[in-house]
Amino acid sequence: MINLSPSASADIAWFKQCLGNKTLVESLKNIKLVISDVDGTLTDASIYVDATGEGGRCFSIQDGFIVKHAMQQGLAISFMSGKSNVSTLERAKALGIPPEMCAVGLDSKPAAVQKIQQLCKVTPAQTLMFGDDYLDADVKRHDVIGLYACPANTIFYLQPLADLMVPRCGGDGALRLLVDLMLFVQGKHFAQDLIDRCLNI
């Protein structure tokens, strides 16, 4: 008997739904670069503001854990933000993401995505963009990525553009669940057997 919370059961149902989509699975197997937006994707979209101006952000430890493992497995991870902020750069540094894999203060993202792709020597088909707002969806519209995924808190009119909707909100382990799925289908997850066990309940 395996005891599961309602949220865990929902995650499993989502996993099974994704695994049942053979086109999606084949696309995920090809991904070598994950580019993640920051505000609203790695965070809950809140920012701290005091008398000195904009302060830091609150990041998910679960997201950070899977980022480190994914990079150990050869997956390239990039952070990309429309806002220029030190907290994003510090978070990336703490996770071991090189400075050249972070782009902040962007008014548009397609050109920045192509620059990261050139750096990593990957194709659009090998690239997944994860984000919650227009600048991220716009990358999909410019046809420079293979997959566009978004968290559950993405505004409603952008959700139809996504190839994959993650059932968690930004800052609540949304990137963790997405990369868990990707690593699992690629056979690179550290908990491959445990995920298999839950999927076969």
Task: Give the model's pLDDT for residue 1.
Answer: 53
Residue with tokens 């050139």: 118
pLDDT string in tens for the chain (201-residue length)? 578 899 999 999 999 999 999 999 999 999 999 999 999 999 999 888 877 777 788 999 999 999 999 999 999 999 999 988 889 999 999 999 999 999 999 999 999 999 999 999 999 999 999 999 999 999 999 999 999 999 999 999 999 999 999 999 999 999 999 999 999 999 999 999 999 999 987
CA distances from 3 to 6, 7, 9, 108, 201 (A): 10, 12, 10, 45, 11
Residues 6+ apart with CB under 8 A from 157: none
Residue 77 φ/ψ region, left for φ over 0, alpha for ψ in the -120 to 50 degree band, beta for the rest:
beta
Count Cβ atoms below 10 Å from residue 1 Cβ, excluding itself: 3
pLDDT tens column, 122-177 = 999 999 999 999 999 999 999 999 999 999 999 999 999 999 999 999 999 999 99
Domain parsing of the chain, residue ranges: 14-199
Does domain 14-199 fall under CATH 3.40.50.300? My reply is no
Going by their DSSP bridges, the two strands 53-54 and 49-50 should be labelled as antiparallel
Count Cβ atoms below 10 Å from residue 105 Cβ, excluding itself: 10
Check if the beta carbon of residue 151 is closer than 8 Å to that of residue 174.
yes
- pTM attached to this predicted model: 0.94
Q: Which H/E stretch holds residue 54?
A: strand 53-54
Separation CA 120–CA 118 (nearest Å): 5
